[in-house]
Chain A
């Protein structure tokens, strides 16, 4: 335990930003730990990592960590990250978003980022609710759930974040929970190392806003719910849709090699250079 604590302290901005804003028991802290362990294991220099986020509880994460950090406008984190990556491709750009941030206001940016296939890592913390604004329904709130804006039960159907990412063309898609930290460490590491657009959906708990309204108990109860609901990708292959209903599939869902934007653009640069070298006058 002491070793883990020491490792995390190495990466935190302890001089200014604590105590943090998260509620006791929030899954965001667990994700922060996983992320730091993954980056430390890969061995990146702090200077080479850029953490970008949008707006929301999970998007407050970058402020605590001693990297180049950018807290952007709501839903737009991936667009800022796109500019950083294109301007300095050597930087490891990791984007942290919440489900409301990435899927609602940022839904369009998300599918286009997946399609464009820049070498970015997108981590989406899915707690089924808008936590920071006080518990309104989000694009991932399940049908029938109670929130402050669905006081009679939610009548819309949720987005499946990972499945959407697969369809939109992401190179790598994985899902984890804040209960299964070993799996989470592992898939975050794989996602960061992947060349191409990598998405990690992290199922997390908002016991304060979502759990309380839906009688899901304490933070611990919600973690135990994740433990019970989770099923690995391998196991899920042999299960029927009925058996899988209400379960959370965890692990790597898709890992494929697709041409990366920056690589493709380098070809354009070379071709353009040749063309301009032979042109005598402005085209």
Chain B
């Protein structure tokens, strides 16, 4: 592969959607299946443009269900794979997200959030899918969900999403939103040597010793690709350590406990937040996605006016970064959670707060961004 096929190290003006494509390719993504939907379409278009030149494959499927199906198939055959969609398409994907969880298939799913419910507001910003990302598919399962707020983060967090996905054999969802997706910014793309790329652990034992869903100390069994000499069974049914369907309660319990444990035992590795002025904050803002940018501006402005404000930008949304937020809740006088829904994350903050401190909401559901001034004027009054 010649360097001209890559964008490594270049300074470019990109929109968030395009930066995600660059991040994915840098992370080793070589398969993309998707279905056009606003405001995620540019990801498909750029993938169609970029993947064939790096030896990858782009395919436009007949719908979003098919897209995630193809992504899971490609990942099982050993290739890092991704899909991107928006609200209604994300709803369609839920069944296969559950499959990827139970069969422990690494893959990355981008949801560029738009207004809902249903077809909703295709060209307007919203953050209404936070809970769908956590609980959209049926049954109890863990999930990793990351949120992006800048074009640079679209690059970096996509790389991180692939790494977490490969490391923990789990689907990782990236929540973007219409504003992040379409904002064009100048960014310096990383050189490959600056990027840490994690590949899934492959089995090293002879095939007859391989137990595909064995409980290892890490809780993440090595994963053989189809065609690599390890023949095993993959199913969406609850399975035993060999991958075969089981209804034995001791095996069901052990399996479901392990897939939860592999995420929660590695909480500190998965959890990522960006803090600003939190050391001495009296007023804490918790925000994510495009709103986090308005919040950052508002917090800085408030500081210059003598308000001891601080910001926590959530990058990892699920599992919820409770360990970081909880100590702050004991200290601050009030928490403000601005978001583009009627309170999906503020509800989670209130849940872990357990009445320790005051939690205020700032919500918009009219398809418009929350501006720095809106947050600032609330901040100074709190």
A82 with B70: CB separation less than 8 A: yes
Identify which of residues 42-89 in chain A touch chain B, using a CB-to-CB cut-off of 8 Å: 46-48, 50, 52, 62-63, 66-73, 76, 79-88
B236 with A66: CB separation less than 8 A: no
Also in contact, A91 and B57, with CB within 8 A (given A80-B72, A86-B70): no
Identify the closest chain A residue to B233 (Cβ). Answer: A69
Contact of B5 among A16, A86, A276 (CB under 8 A): A276
A283 to chain B, nearest CB (A): 7
Per-residue contact bits, chain A 255-283, to B (CB 8 Å; 1 contact, 0 not): 00000000001001101110111111111
A80 with B55: CB separation less than 8 A: no
Also in contact, A46 and B69, with CB within 8 A (given A109-B62, A277-B4, A281-B10): no
A269 with B231: CB separation less than 8 A: no
Answer yes or no: A17 CB below 8 A from chain B CBs.
Answer: yes
Contact of A66 among B30, B59, B62, B231 (CB under 8 A): B231
B66 with A68: CB separation less than 8 A: no
Also in contact, A282 and B12, with CB within 8 A (given A48-B227, A265-B57): yes
Answer yes or no: A180 CB below 8 A from chain B CBs.
Answer: no
A108 with B62: CB separation less than 8 A: yes
Total B residues in contact with A, Cβ cutoff 8 Å: 52
B226 with A86: CB separation less than 8 A: no
Answer yes or no: B170 CB below 8 A from chain A CBs.
Answer: no
Also in contact, A282 and B227, with CB within 8 A (given A63-B235, A79-B73, A269-B55): no
A60 to chain B, nearest CB (A): 9
Answer yes or no: B163 CB below 8 A from chain A CBs.
Answer: no
Q: Per DSSP, are chain A's interface residues mostly helix, strand or loop, or mixed?
A: helix
B381 to chain A, nearest CB (A): 46
A265 with B52: CB separation less than 8 A: yes
Identify the closest chain B residue to A265 (Cβ). Answer: B57
Identify the closest chain B residue to A262 (Cβ). Answer: B57
Answer yes or no: A194 CB below 8 A from chain B CBs.
Answer: no
A86 with B74: CB separation less than 8 A: yes
A235 to chain B, nearest CB (A): 37
Identify which of residues 204-234 in chain B touch chain A, using a CB-to-CB cut-off of 8 Å: 225-229, 231-234
Contact of B31 among A69, A87, A272 (CB under 8 A): A87
B78 to chain A, nearest CB (A): 7
B233 with A71: CB separation less than 8 A: yes
A46 with B96: CB separation less than 8 A: no
A87 with B2: CB separation less than 8 A: no
B231 with A47: CB separation less than 8 A: yes
Identify which of residues 241-290 in chain B touch chain A, using a CB-to-CB cut-off of 8 Å: 242, 244-245
Identify the closest chain B residue to A66 (Cβ). Answer: B231
Per-residue contact bits, chain B 49-60, to A (CB 8 Å; 1 contact, 0 not): 100110101010
Q: Which of chain A's residues have a CB closer than 8 A to the CB of B62?
A: 108-109, 112
Task: Choose among B65, B70, B78, B225 the residue with the greatest number of A CB atoms under 10 Å from its CB.
Answer: B70
Q: Which of chain A's residues have a CB closer than 8 A to the CB of B67?
A: 79
Q: Which of chain A's residues have a CB closer than 8 A to the CB of B226?
A: 50, 68, 70, 84, 88, 91
Answer yes or no: A6 CB below 8 A from chain B CBs.
Answer: no
Q: Which of chain B's residues have a CB closer than 8 A to the CB of A90?
A: 227
Identify which of residues 41-88 in chain B touch chain A, using a CB-to-CB cut-off of 8 Å: 49, 52-53, 55, 57, 59, 61-63, 65-79, 81
Q: Which of chain A's residues have a CB closer than 8 A to the CB of B225?
A: 88
Q: Which of chain B's residues have a CB closer than 8 A to the CB of A63?
A: 233, 235, 244-245
Contact of A83 among B5, B10, B77, B245 (CB under 8 A): B77
Q: Which of chain A's residues have a CB closer than 8 A to the CB of B155?
A: none
Identify which of residues 222-256 in chain A touch chain B, using a CB-to-CB cut-off of 8 Å: none
State in angstroms the CA–CA spacing of A71 and B96 once bound together. 12
B115 to chain A, nearest CB (A): 27
Answer yes or no: B95 CB below 8 A from chain A CBs.
Answer: yes
Answer yes or no: B7 CB below 8 A from chain A CBs.
Answer: yes
Also in contact, A91 and B52, with CB within 8 A (given A72-B69, A73-B69): no
**Further 17 A-B residue pairs, CB within 8 A, beyond A79-B69, A82-B61, A108-B66:** A16-B244, A47-B231, A63-B235, A71-B234, A72-B236, A83-B69, A83-B76, A83-B81, A86-B74, A87-B73, A87-B81, A272-B49, A273-B52, A276-B4, A277-B5, A278-B4, A282-B12
Q: Which 7 A-B pairs have the closest CB atoms?
A: A83-B73, A79-B69, A83-B70, A87-B77, A83-B74, A272-B52, A71-B235
15 of the cross-chain contacts (CB-CB < 8 Å) are: A46-B231, A47-B229, A63-B244, A69-B232, A70-B73, A73-B99, A80-B72, A82-B33, A83-B76, A83-B77, A83-B81, A86-B59, A87-B73, A88-B79, A112-B61
